[in-house]
Amino acid sequence: MQSNTILINHTSYEVRAAVLSQGAISEFFVEHPHKCTAVGNIYKGKVVKILPGMQSAFVDIGLFKAAFLHIADIKKPRPEDEFCGSEEDIHDDECEKEFASPDLPIEEILTEGQEIVVQVAKDATGNKGARLTMHLSVSGRYLVLMPGYKHIGISRKIGDSEEREKLKKLLKAILPPEGGLIARTVSKGRSENDLTADRDYLLRIWKRIQLNCESAAAPALVYKDDNLIFRILRDVVGYDTDEILIDDTAAYTNLTIFCNEYLPALTDKLKLYTKHTPIFEAYNAEIEVNRLLDKKVWLRSGGYIVIEHTEALTVIDVNTGKFVGKRNFEETIFKTNIEAAREITHQIKLRNLGGIIIVDFIDMETEENRAKVLNLLNELLREDRAHASVVSITALGLVEITRKRAQESLIRLMSEPCPYCEGKGVVKSRMTICYDILRHIRRTAKEYKGKNLILETHSEVADILLSNAREYLSDLESLFNIKIEMKFASHFHIEHYEITPVLGYSGS
């Protein structure tokens, strides 16, 4: 097996891609036709509501829910928070310094009913609509075009000062009048011809977007970003990629044509997978994919981490588990935390966790060990394609991480709330439900005096009532002059029960 391989499993109902590093999955992507990401798409939208108190507006772009536009995404970007349309960190070498005052009221910039051109910066999640920006950008293989901004930027991940200076000169030489350019990480070492060809490709896209904006009536999609397999070629394939395997002949043909015209350096890496064994199974990737929804992830030492999701953040807990160490307790904890730091950064990238992430490492006594774990965590996060960093450590020793979230995490893409527990993750115990039923009967029994009551409940709850609470039921019958008849209903949700009065009992 190659040291770095990209697998693409393409069907009419689903596209999956996995990046294998040394035989293990380092990144995983999935896309379904009915739920494609809107990030990168450009729309001609209509402002439907201004919210002065929030310095924001809701914009109808034709999606099921109005999208959200904040004033920070209307004015020109500051150097430190520029939006570039990709998941790379950008270093601003040159940037116009003029931008609107943050105190300028949004109602003086936008009006309800106004048509504007916007780009989706973040997909809709849960009850929240998509996040928009008016800082448009179009990404290519080597460059990002920023229409309307005279700006040159170099990816921070290109650390070599000579290479940065070379790219800066190249960008100045090919800078178009339409806007600014940003050199992406993969532009390192590319020739002026390569960058010029990519620039011309982006300019053709931009001209098409302009024509669509002129002719379209809001709300309308005027530019759709590449689908998953083309984004893989554009954003994921790097110098360390040895081969790209795809198992669909039609998709392979389309990719080959695209690479021959725009990315000739990738043509030789692209290969059609034709073996009978499904591609993910052949490379042992299916097993790892099936584990991506597991809460508990075991470490090789015997320790484990637990990943819990909430509406606002993700919490990761580290435990020693079966690992008992060889020397002393502090060394055991340190080794577990070091191994956990590696696995946590791997899982964050693999599961596409975003927003606020809280990590509860096992407490370490020595400051040196704490520093080593945090340094490793920071070092590994810097390798992430999405911007991720350690923000701080709380007074309780919890590590706070933030990671740019543009798309939904895998758990949201691949799962839905449990219909049984309604997403709570727990249900009431059978004994607690019995107490609920007894309280309900006591609370309403006066209304049913002299009547039969039919109690329907889950069979497991009924068993406990008959075995452990029969005496309490008899007391209620005597106290309120009622008769309780039990019926088993195995099809009921375990927390559900029904009490129905019927005629036929006149009491004693």
Query: Which two structure tokens, joined as six digits, stand for 476?
Result: 């209620």
Which parts of 155-284 fold into alpha helices (H)?
161-174, 192-215, 228-231, 249-262, 279-282
Pick the CATH number of 42-223 from 2.102.10.10, 2.40.50.140, 1.20.950.20, 2.40.30.10: 2.40.50.140
Closest CA to 226 of 85, 353, 118, 354: 85
Would you place residue 77 in the very low, low, confident or very high pLDDT band (cuts 50, 70, 90)? very low
Q: How far is CA 493 from CA 427, 438, 460, in A?
A: 10, 18, 11
Q: Spell 389-405 as b/e; 16+ CB within 10 A means b.
A: ebeeeeeeeebebbbbb
User: What would the CATH number be for the domain defined by 430-502?
Assistant: 3.40.1260.20
69 — pLDDT class (breaks 50, 70, 90)? very high
Task: Decide if pLDDT at 85 tops 60.
Answer: no
Domain 4-34+233-287 in CATH 3.40.50.2000? The answer is: no
Please state, for a pLDDT cut of 90, what percent of the chain lies above it: 48
The DSSP secondary structure of 218-239, one letter per residue, reads: SSEEEE----HHHHIIIII--T
SS3 of 416, please?
coil
Fold match, 42-223 / 430-502: no
Chain segment 310-323, per-residue pLDDT in tens: 878 899 999 988 77
| Higher-pLDDT residue of 392, 335 | 335
Q: Which of 72, 205, 188 is nearest to 133 (CA)?
A: 72
Q: Are 271 and 245 in contact (CB under 8 A)?
A: yes
The answer to whether the CB of 122 falls within 8 A of the CB of 39 is yes
- Contact assessment for residue 8 and residue 285, using Cβ atoms and an 8 Å cutoff: no
Quote the Cα angle for 193-82-209, to 5°.
Answer: 60
Give me the phi and psi of 124, to 5 degrees please: -65, 140
For the stretch 5-51, pLDDT in tens is: 999 999 988 999 999 988 889 899 998 877 788 999 999 999 999 99
Confidence (pLDDT) at 101: 52
Report CA Rg, the chain: 29
Domain segments of the chain as ranges: 4-34+233-287, 42-223, 293-414, 430-502
pLDDT tens across 197-237, in order?
Answer: 999 999 999 999 999 999 999 999 999 988 888 888 888 88
Taking only the tens place, the pLDDT of each residue in 152-207 is 899 888 888 889 999 999 999 999 988 899 999 888 888 899 899 999 999 999 99
